[in-house]
A = this chain, B = another copy of it.
């Protein structure tokens, strides 16, 4: 097979073989090829190439490809990988379309979770390409997080000591708030603010009852993102979860759904933060190594949108 490259265009005389492979698109007697398809035919089917009528070596072809479209190497790596898995793949405007709609990303690329989740195709799959051109696939799915842990109210007293609140052991024993030390539940400031907000807890500092605003003020001193964390925490409680810190796993919260003794989800507040793709890949890898799922949350208007990102095998 011989491929002719002229300027930005690449074509080859029409052949049934290409139709069978699902490569290129026919126009008259020619089959026009995408740069990805050109390199694939060169590397896998030993196609010869002429650039403007002169025979070209592999390096010349690489050079033409890389200069023809942005992020060529990522696109090509995913294309080749999908082909090697037996899929007939079409290149469409930065996407690779087969049974799935695959969106290749360089692992160094930074984006927001909302940007990713906006591309709502059925069967959208992210393909993250690492520096060595290895490809890993991820499913992205908006989910309606629901647990089955619900609580009935009671009233307790607490004392603020340092950045912790010491209170009734029942809070931990019954609903897993904080941690138990001796006969006290020790709460974080976040848990404390939530419990004060719903009217279960009265907190004193040196004998004086603290208002919710005073507690938040202390919380903000320890964590500038305190208010947003409280907002998500509140939403997760409403959705029926036991919510604990996920710091150890590199996330904001780990969630127990009231069915399983192990936490099921690791949740990260993403909002408008730019994540490099390798950070997303790493979060999913870490979560899966401890049998948990990775969820990101961002704000759309007044609503929290939860996005599950999971590794998939194609």
Contacts and interface: CB of A to CB of B under 8 A. Distances in A.
Contact of A107 (B39, B159, B247): B247
Interface string A159-190: 10110101000000000001101111010100
Given A131-B188, A162-B73, A249 B282 contact: yes
A71 to B, nearest CB: 9
Contacts of A305: none
Contacts of A186: 73, 133
A4 to B, nearest CB: 20
B166 A59 contact: yes
A244 interface: yes
A62 B161 contact: yes
A107 B248 contact: yes
Given A43-B182, A58-B182, A181-B133, A282 B248 contact: yes
A29 to B, nearest CB: 28
Interface string A56-96: 00110011001100001100000000000000000000000
A55 interface: no
Interface string A235-257: 00000000011011110000000
A130 interface: yes
For the side of the interface on A, what is the size category? 35 or more
A32 B309 CA distance: 56
A66 B161 contact: yes
A182 B281 CA distance: 27
A213 interface: no
B59 A184 contact: yes
21 contacts: A39-B182, A42-B182, A58-B182, A59-B166, A63-B159, A66-B161, A66-B164, A67-B161, A72-B162, A73-B162, A73-B164, A108-B247, A130-B245, A130-B248, A131-B188, A132-B178, A132-B245, A133-B179, A248-B282, A250-B278, A289-B290
Given A108-B247, A131-B245, A133-B181, 13 more contacts: A43-B181, A62-B184, A66-B161, A72-B162, A73-B162, A130-B247, A131-B247, A132-B179, A133-B179, A248-B285, A250-B282, A285-B286, A286-B286
